[in-house]
């Protein structure tokens, strides 16, 4: 019995333990499921974050490209200043062009006049010569004098021809000098542009080098996403193969068990034939399974060998990489030092081309080193591609895509852990995880090297493009130089021809002028030397490019050899991994503990992130509450404005406003008188200035006359000088040719000398006169210039006064128009007042007013009843709104939870959407306020003609009275019809509200849980509330209208002294109120836009990290 009790107790304890273990197992399973779900959600969030990171990296790259290609701000300002200066120059040149055209026209007229005068003088000269010949014929030396006169004429003709040719040659020489100066200026501009281009390219290269250094420092040791994803796929594929091999082993084990059972059954039954048949079948199956097992084990061995070789090669490659990176940094430092030294040397002597050549060679060497360093890891990437190809050929079951999406390395480890849990093989996978991390690091650095190599290739192509562009520019310059040389050669030929045509007397002068041509030739030769030097530099650059290409091809070949070596080392590594897996036999317990610990840490991390999201949600709710408070503030401000407007209206009804308007009218009339006086003064000034313009024209005509006189005197002087020279020549010729006695020659010489003296005295007198005239002219010109400046000032002031006069005249016309309108309105209102007084005198007027009051009282009673009905409906709406508030609160909670699950990006989108809704509501609120004000102003305008004051006027004809009574009745009928229409509209609104409330009460409670139904309910509730508020406002307005109508009817019977000017003043005030409301609306819109812009700026600052901004500032400083 004791044993039975012990056994039963043990059984009970075992059952309790089993139940407890089952409960714990179920709890652990539930926790694992929840943690897995959360992990999946986190994986989705991480994937979204990775995509966001990729987009931000692309944006960063675009910004970097823009930074490299952007121009400095100083250059932009210089270009803008140049543009403004050129525009000013264009305007000035156009004005100068017009002036020059006018001067040319006047000069052409003067030339025609001078030609006529010259013909006249020639005619006089011929007449005098004839008289001289006739007088000389009477003398003894008739033949000699005629011969000498002929020779003189020939000599004069030849001198005239030579002087004309000399003037032409001088003009051509001046043109050549101008061309030379233009070419020199053009060459200097080209050199300046070339220097600027070189400086810009140097700055761009510095920025690019700085960016490359930052990228090296940032991404050194990090793994690219594409390689991480490739590794994850490789590991998943290896896991799948391991699972397949384990399944095959299990099948083999199961088949062995089945064989043993079949053997036992066959021994019992004794059927040997059946045993043989079944044994053969099982043997065939075993052979097939063994062959599959061998294939899978071979695949596993290959993968493990690849991983091992990759690890070994990564260690060696990392060492080589670090050494070469140090070398590269040292080379970059040397390059920067050389650039600084070159800049200093350029500042001392800017025409050193050797230093530029050394700098270019140093830069090309740096580029070669970078290419050699960054082209090494391409071999490892080819090895991985080969492995992927072998993998795809071996395993046809799995199709790995070629273009894999980019994910983080953490996803790889999580996927491996999940596969471990599903496959119950944690011990083997721990080794694979370590190997996968090493492979991931290897592939990460390989991808980095690949990206760096691509960047260097892009830069190399860019540099080649720049060199081609520079070659094109040089070819253009060469063509321009060739054209200039051709032009110079043509001009030299023309010059030689002219030189040969000239006589021997002008050869000395021409020889003195050839020095300038020689200088031009020297400049041309110097330019040719510069061009030859540039061509030599281009040839050197081409040779360097060829050398760089050859070195690049050699490095590619060496790297391919290294790749082969790396692949062999990877195979060795895989073999060592297979050996390690075969040797190790890990336990299952500690691996499961490690997995549980990892899951728990992740779970805690996720809980922390959830808490952060909740905090963010609370902040957003606080912001929403703040926005609601702002909307309530706006509503209060709108109500206060309405109250202030009503107070203004009440103040306007007082009598003091009439006096103020009269005072304003008097002030305006005074202003009009003052403006008319100013206009008269301005007109007098204008007349005086027009007189000044007439005197200016007179002075111009006098100036032209003086110029003509001066030109005539100059021509006379030139003619007299020519005559003196001619006479001197005659004297010399006569002394040589006359073999007559000395007495005759002495007498003639005395006469000629006397004539010469007379002519010299005349010349001196004329010179003195000229000097006096010049001084007089200078003084007069100075005076005229001063007068011209004064006139110009007067003209500018005149233009300003004209513009002011036009503005004032437009204002006067506007004021006149307003006074005319006011007068018309006063006349019209007086007529209406007279008509109303005549109506009031008649007996019918009292009956009409009484009937109107009765009708209005009936309308008031009816409206009160409708108000009660509307209040009842509003109570029903409030009852239904309590349910809607509960539904809205639940929906808000659901939306908050969804947003917290979605992540930060969804929260940001939701915030932006709420901000947009807020801005729209503010805009609609402002628009409704403006419409409300306009409607109120329209109501006041419609009421104003009905309530004009009375006055005692008896002399009105009966026909006019009848017509006015009819118009008054028509107005009252229209008002009645409008009121009836408004009441009908309100009735319809109330009926709709009641029908909707009935429908809401009859609806079932179960259908509230549907989202679509809840949304429809909210929309209908909002509509009902809006309709209710509109109806209440309309009823209140109608009641106010009734009260105002009654008060104004009593006011018509009591007050008689009120004027029609109140109506005009009210209209003006209404217009001003409208303008104020519009201005306020515009200001509020501007405030809203400013807020939106600030928020956009903050969002952009959040998107762009501060590190990027710091990098840009450093670049600009450099």
Q: What pLDDT score was predicted for residue 170?
A: 82
- Reduce the DSSP state of residue 401 to 3 states and report it: coil
| Number of Cβ within a 10 Å radius of residue 788 | 13
310 within some domain: no
Question: Exposure pattern of 755-786 as b/e (b: 16+ CB <10 Å)?
Answer: eeeeeeeeeeeeeeeeeeeeeebeeeeeebee
Tokens of 152: 């003189």
CB 402 within 8 A of CB 484: no
Half-sphere exposure of residue 998: CA atoms within 13 angstroms, side-chain side: 6
| Mean pLDDT, rounded, for 1059-1082 | 63
981 with 1091, same domain: the answer is yes
* Residue of higher predicted confidence among 743 and 51: 51
pTM above 0.85, yes or no: no
Q: Is the pLDDT of residue 1063 over 50?
A: yes
631 with 709, same domain: the answer is no
Q: Is the pLDDT of residue 227 over 70?
A: no
Rounded Cα–Cα distance for residues 360 and 541 (Å): 9
Q: Is the pLDDT of residue 737 over 80?
A: no
- Domains: count for the chain: 2
- Reduce the DSSP state of residue 377 to 3 states and report it: coil
pLDDT (tens digit per residue) in 451-470: 766 776 677 677 667 777 77
| Number of Cβ within a 10 Å radius of residue 657 | 17
917 with 1034, same domain: the answer is yes
pLDDT (tens digit per residue) in 509-543: 555 556 666 666 676 677 677 777 777 777 776 77
Look at residues 441, 440, 40, 435 and name the one whose alpha carbon lies nearest to residue 242: 435
175 within some domain: no
Rounded Cα–Cα distance for residues 459 and 65 (Å): 12
pLDDT (tens digit per residue) in 1037-1047: 766 776 776 66
Q: Is the pLDDT of residue 117 over 50?
A: yes
pLDDT (tens digit per residue) in 875-890: 665 555 555 555 566 5
- Reduce the DSSP state of residue 586 to 3 states and report it: coil
Q: What pLDDT score was predicted for residue 1107?
A: 45
Strand partners, 305: 574
Nearest-5° Cα angle at 499, 497 to 502: 110
Q: What pLDDT score was predicted for residue 970?
A: 63
Helices 272-348 and 225-269, axial angle in degrees (round to 10):
170
180 within some domain: no
| Mean pLDDT, rounded, for 235-242 | 78
Strand partners, 574: 305
Look at residues 407, 391, 408 and name the one whose alpha carbon lies nearest to residue 399: 391
Rounded Cα–Cα distance for residues 394 and 241 (Å): 11
- Phi, psi of 372, rounded to the nearest 5 degrees: -65, -35
CB neighbour list of residue 124: distance below 8 Å, 6 or more residues apart: none
Q: What pLDDT score was predicted for residue 233?
A: 77
Rounded Cα–Cα distance for residues 367 and 365 (Å): 5
| Mean pLDDT, rounded, for 851-879 | 67
Helix then strand then coil, in percent of the chain rounded to 5, is: 95, 0, 5
888 with 1004, same domain: the answer is yes
Residue 514 burial (C-beta neighbours within 10 Å; 0-12, 13-18, 19+): exposed
CB neighbour list of residue 704: distance below 8 Å, 6 or more residues apart: 106
Average pLDDT of the residues of the chain: 67
* Residue of higher predicted confidence among 347 and 731: 731
pLDDT (tens digit per residue) in 831-853: 777 777 776 666 444 555 566 66
Rounded Cα–Cα distance for residues 490 and 500 (Å): 16
DSSP letter string over 485-516?
A: HHHHHHHHHHHHHHHHHS-GGGHHHHHHHHHH
772 with 856, same domain: the answer is no
Tokens of 92: 């000035």
In this structure, what is the dihedral angle of CA atoms 859, 862, 868, 869, given to the nearest 10 degrees? -120
Confidence at 810, pLDDT banded by 50, 70, 90:
confident
803 with 938, same domain: the answer is no
* Of the listed ranges 96-110, 191-205, 617-631, the one predicted with least confidence: 617-631
Residue 720 burial (C-beta neighbours within 10 Å; 0-12, 13-18, 19+): middle
Domain end: 798, 831, 864, which one? Answer: 831
Confidence at 806, pLDDT banded by 50, 70, 90:
confident
pLDDT (tens digit per residue) in 625-643: 766 676 677 667 667 766 7
CB 968 within 8 A of CB 839: yes
Confidence at 911, pLDDT banded by 50, 70, 90:
low
Residue 929 burial (C-beta neighbours within 10 Å; 0-12, 13-18, 19+): buried
1050 within some domain: yes
CB 1088 within 8 A of CB 923: yes
CB 238 within 8 A of CB 395: no
Domain end: 796, 831, 866, which one? Answer: 831
Tokens of 218: 């940032």
| Mean pLDDT, rounded, for 645-654 | 63
Question: Exposure pattern of 865-884 as b/e (b: 16+ CB <10 Å)?
Answer: ebbeebeebbebbeebbeeb
599 within some domain: no
677 with 647, same domain: the answer is no
DSSP letter string over 949-963?
A: PP-------HHHHHH
Q: What pLDDT score was predicted for residue 1016?
A: 59
* Residue of higher predicted confidence among 358 and 300: 300
997 within some domain: yes
Q: Is the pLDDT of residue 740 over 50?
A: no
DSSP structural state of residue 375: T
| Mean pLDDT, rounded, for 763-788 | 80
Confidence at 767, pLDDT banded by 50, 70, 90:
confident
pLDDT (tens digit per residue) in 22-73: 888 888 888 888 888 888 888 888 888 888 888 887 888 788 777 767 666 7
Q: Is the pLDDT of residue 731 over 50?
A: yes
973 within some domain: yes
Confidence at 1, pLDDT banded by 50, 70, 90:
low
Look at residues 672, 674, 665 and name the one whose alpha carbon lies nearest to residue 1068: 665
Q: What pLDDT score was predicted for residue 189?
A: 85
987 within some domain: yes
815 with 879, same domain: the answer is no
Highest mean pLDDT, choosing among 117-126, 423-432, 771-780: 771-780
| Mean pLDDT, rounded, for 685-690 | 66
Q: Is the pLDDT of residue 579 over 60?
A: yes
Rounded Cα–Cα distance for residues 752 and 723 (Å): 12
Q: Which helix (H) or strand (E) holds 30?
A: helix 2-69
The sign one gets for the Cα dihedral 658, 659, 660, 664 is positive
Question: Exposure pattern of 14-46 as b/e (b: 16+ CB <10 Å)?
Answer: eeeeeeeeeeeeeeeeeeeeebeebbeebbebb
Q: Is the pLDDT of residue 930 over 80?
A: no
Rounded Cα–Cα distance for residues 951 and 956 (Å): 12
CB neighbour list of residue 933: distance below 8 Å, 6 or more residues apart: 645, 1073, 1074, 1077
721 with 754, same domain: the answer is yes
- Tokens 């008649």 belong to 842
925 with 1008, same domain: the answer is yes
pLDDT (tens digit per residue) in 142-188: 566 666 777 777 777 777 878 888 888 888 878 888 888 888 888 88
Highest mean pLDDT, choosing among 380-394, 671-685, 1068-1082: 671-685
pLDDT (tens digit per residue) in 200-224: 778 777 777 777 777 766 665 555 5
Residue 931 burial (C-beta neighbours within 10 Å; 0-12, 13-18, 19+): exposed
In residues, how long is the chain? Answer: 1118
801 with 854, same domain: the answer is no
Q: What pLDDT score was predicted for residue 307?
A: 72
911 with 1035, same domain: the answer is yes
Domain end: 766, 797, 831, which one? Answer: 831
Rounded Cα–Cα distance for residues 716 and 902 (Å): 105
Rounded Cα–Cα distance for residues 26 and 133 (Å): 151
Q: What pLDDT score was predicted for residue 1007?
A: 40
Q: Is the pLDDT of residue 958 over 60?
A: no
- Reduce the DSSP state of residue 382 to 3 states and report it: helix
Rounded Cα–Cα distance for residues 988 and 990 (Å): 5
Rounded Cα–Cα distance for residues 761 and 767 (Å): 10
The sign one gets for the Cα dihedral 775, 777, 780, 786 is negative
| Mean pLDDT, rounded, for 713-731 | 70
Q: What pLDDT score was predicted for residue 752?
A: 72
CB neighbour list of residue 310: distance below 8 Å, 6 or more residues apart: 380, 383, 438, 439, 442, 570, 573
CB neighbour list of residue 606: distance below 8 Å, 6 or more residues apart: 38, 39, 42
Note down the domain range covering 823: 663-831
């Amino acid at each position: 019995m004791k044993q039975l009790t012990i056994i039963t107790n043990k059984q009970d304890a075992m059952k309790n333990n089993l139940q407890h273990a089952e409960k714990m197992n179920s709890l652990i399973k539930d926790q694992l499921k929840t943690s897995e779900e959360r992990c999946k959600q986190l994986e989705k969030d991480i994937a979204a974050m990775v995509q966001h990171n990729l987009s931000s990296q692309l944006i960063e790259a675009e910004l970097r490209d823009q930074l490299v290609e952007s121009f400095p701000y100083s250059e932009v300002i210089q270009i803008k200043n140049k543009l403004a200066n050129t525009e000013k120059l264009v305007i000035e040149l156009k004005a100068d062009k017009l002036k020059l055209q006018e001067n040319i026209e006047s000069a052409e007229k003067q030339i025609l006049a001078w030609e006529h005068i010259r013909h006249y003088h020639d005619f006089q000269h011929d007449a005098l010569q004839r008289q001289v010949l006739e007088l000389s014929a009477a003398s003894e030396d008739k033949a000699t004098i005629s011969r000498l006169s002929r020779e003189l004429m020939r000599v004069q003709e030849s001198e005239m021809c030579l002087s004309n040719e000399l003037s032409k040659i001088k003009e051509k020489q001046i043109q050549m000098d101008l061309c030379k100066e233009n070419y020199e200026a053009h060459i200097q501009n080209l050199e300046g542009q070339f220097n600027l281009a070189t400086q810009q390219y140097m700055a761009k290269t510095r920025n690019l080098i700085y960016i490359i250094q930052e990228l090296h420092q940032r991404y050194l040791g990090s793994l690219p996403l594409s390689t991480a994803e490739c590794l994850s796929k490789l590991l998943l594929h290896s896991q799948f193969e391991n699972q397949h091999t384990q399944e095959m082993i299990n099948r083999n084990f199961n088949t062995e068990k089945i064989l043993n059972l079949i053997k036992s059954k066959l021994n019992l039954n004794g059927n040997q034939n059946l045993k043989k048949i079944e044994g053969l079948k099982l043997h065939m199956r075993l052979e097939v399974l063994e062959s599959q097992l061998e294939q899978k084990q071979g695949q596993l061995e290959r993968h493990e060998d690849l991983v091992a070789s990759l690890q070994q090669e990564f260690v060696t490659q990392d060492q080589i990489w670090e050494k070469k990176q140090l070398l590269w940094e040292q080379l970059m430092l040397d390059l920067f030092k050389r650039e600084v030294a070159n800049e200093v040397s350029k500042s001392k002597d800017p025409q050193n081309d050797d230093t530029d050549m050394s700098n270019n060679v140093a830069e090309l060497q740096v580029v070669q080193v970078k290419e050699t360093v960054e082209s090494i890891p391409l071999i490892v990437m080819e090895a991985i591609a080969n492995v992927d190809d072998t993998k795809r050929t071996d395993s046809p079951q799995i199709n790995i895509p070629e273009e894999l999406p980019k994910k983080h390395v953490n996803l790889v480890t999580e996927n491996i852990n999940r596969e471990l849990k599903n496959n119950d093989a944690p011990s083997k996978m721990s080794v694979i995880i370590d190997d996968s991390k090493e492979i991931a690091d290897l592939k990460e650095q390989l991808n980095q090297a690949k990206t760096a190599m691509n960047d260097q290739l892009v830069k190399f192509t860019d540099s080649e493009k720049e060199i081609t562009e520079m070659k094109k520019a040089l070819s253009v310059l060469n063509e321009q130089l060739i054209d200039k040389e051709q032009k110079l050669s043509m001009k030299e030929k023309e010059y030689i021809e002219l030189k040969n045509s000239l006589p021997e007397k002008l050869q000395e002068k021409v020889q003195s002028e050839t020095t300038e041509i020689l200088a031009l030739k020297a400049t041309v030769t110097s330019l040719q030397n510069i061009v030859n030097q540039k061509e030599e530099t281009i040839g050197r650059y081409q040779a360097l490019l060829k050398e760089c290409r050859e070195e690049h091809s050699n490095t590619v070949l060496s790297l391919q050899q290294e790749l082969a070596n790396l692949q062999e080392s990877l195979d060795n590594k895989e073999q060592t991994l297979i050996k390690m897996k075969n040797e190790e036999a890990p336990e299952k317990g500690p691996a499961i503990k490690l997995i549980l610990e990892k899951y728990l840490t992740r779970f805690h991390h996720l809980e922390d992130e959830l808490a952060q999201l909740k905090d963010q949600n609370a902040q957003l709710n606080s912001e929403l509450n703040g926005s609601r408070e702002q909307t309530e503030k706006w509503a209060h401000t709108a109500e206060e404005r309405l109250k202030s407007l009503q107070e203004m209206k009440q103040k306007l009804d007082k009598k003091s406003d009439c006096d103020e308007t009269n005072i304003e009218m008097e002030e305006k009339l005074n202003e009009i008188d003052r403006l008319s006086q100013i206009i008269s003064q301005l007109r007098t000034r204008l007349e005086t200035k027009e007189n000044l313009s007439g005197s200016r024209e007179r002075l111009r005509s006098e100036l032209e006359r003086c110029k003509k006189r001066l030109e005539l005197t100059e021509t006379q002087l030139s003619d007299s000088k020519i005559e003196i020279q001619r006479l001197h020549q005659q004297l010399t010729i006569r002394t040589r040719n006359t073999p007559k006695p000395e007495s005759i020659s002495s007498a003639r010489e005395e006469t000629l000398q006397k004539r010469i003296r007379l002519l010299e005295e005349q010349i001196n007198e004329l010179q003195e006169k000229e000097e006096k005239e010049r001084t007089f002219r200078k003084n007069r010109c100075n005076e005229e210039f001063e007068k011209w400046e004064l006139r110009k000032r007067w003209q500018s002031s005149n233009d300003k006064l004209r513009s002011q006069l036009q503005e004032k005249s437009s204002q006067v016309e506007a004021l006149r128009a307003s006074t005319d309108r006011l007068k018309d309105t006063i006349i019209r209102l007086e007529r209406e007042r007279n008509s109303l007084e005549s109506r009031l005198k008649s007996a019918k007027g009292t009956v009409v007013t009484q009937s109107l009051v009765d009708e209005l009282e009936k309308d008031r009673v009816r409206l009160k009843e409708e108000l009660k009905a509307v209040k009842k409906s509003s109570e029903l709406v409030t009852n239904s709104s309590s349910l809607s508030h509960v539904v809205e609160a639940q929906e808000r909670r659901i939306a908050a939870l969804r947003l917290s699950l979605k992540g930060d990006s969804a929260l940001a989108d939701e915030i932006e959407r709420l901000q947009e809704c807020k801005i729209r509501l503010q805009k609609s609120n402002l628009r409704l306020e403006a419409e409300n004000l306009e409607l109120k102003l329209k109501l006041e305008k419609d009421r104003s003609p009905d309530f004009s004051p009375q006055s005692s006027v008896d002399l009105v004809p009966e026909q006019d009275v009848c017509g006015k009574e009819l118009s008054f009745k028509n107005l009252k009928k229209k008002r009645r019809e409008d009121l009836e229409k408004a009441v009908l509209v309100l009735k319809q609104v109330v009926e709709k509200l009641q029908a909707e409330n009935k429908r809401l009460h009859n609806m079932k409670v179960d259908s509230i849980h549907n989202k679509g139904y809840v949304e429809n309910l909210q929309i209908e509730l909002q509509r009902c509330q809006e309709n209710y508020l509109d109806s209440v406002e309309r009823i209140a307005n109608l009641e106010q209208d009734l009260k105002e109508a009654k008060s104004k009817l009593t006011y018509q019977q009591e007050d008689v002294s009120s004027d029609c000017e109140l109506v005009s003043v009210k209209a003006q005030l209404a217009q001003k109120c409208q303008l104020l409301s519009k201005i306020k609306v515009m200001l509020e819109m501007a405030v809203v836009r400013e807020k939106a812009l600030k928020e956009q700026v903050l969002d952009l600052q959040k998107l762009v990290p501060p590190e990027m901004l710091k990098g840009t500032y450093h670049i600009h400083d450099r």
